[in-house]
Amino acid sequence: MVRAEYEIASGAYDCAGEVSSDIKRQLKQLGIDAGTLRRVAVSSYEMEMNIIIHSLGGVINLTVDNEWITLFSKDRGPGIPDVELAMREGFSTAGEDARNMGFGAGMGLPNMKRNADTFNIFSQMEEGTRITITFRVI
């Protein structure tokens, strides 16, 4: 079993992609097939960017066993007021700073769900958001 935890700072655009790159590298070393590797890389990048853009910081945990790859993220506030609306492609609450850098297109949550075998999200205002995504190991 492989476990890793990554701390992600709010607004850390200069580090964007480092966590998802490390996750991809670890999975590649484990011999995960290319299709699954691509799906996990997309999802972990979107997870990472959502923490950077929308939260006060958070963590991503990676767990790999013989059957499943699990990504779990937990961020600190502000929470998502309407999860159903946030799941719509193109909907974004990203600020102007993120949009000016080419982020915040409103595809993060939909891309995570589309690439995952299972996708669960829970958000509470003033507390934050937790997302669990799993991928079956082929």
Looking at residue 37, which CATH number applies to its domain?
A: 3.30.565.10
Number of domains making up the chain: 1
What residues does 133 pair with on adjacent strands? 71, 119
Closest CA to 70 of 121, 135, 4, 23: 135
34 with 88: CB under 8 angstroms? no
Bridge partners, 62 (sequence order): 4, 71
**69 within 8 A of 14, measured Cβ to Cβ:** no
pLDDT tens column, 55-95: 999 999 999 999 999 999 999 989 999 999 999 988 888 88
- What pLDDT is recorded for position 63? 98
Structural domain boundaries enclosing 102:
2-136
Residues in the chain predicted with pLDDT less than 50, given as ranges, are: none
Which amino acid does the sequence have at 120? Answer: N
pLDDT of residue 105: 80
Alpha-carbon distance of 9 to 44, in angstroms, equals 15
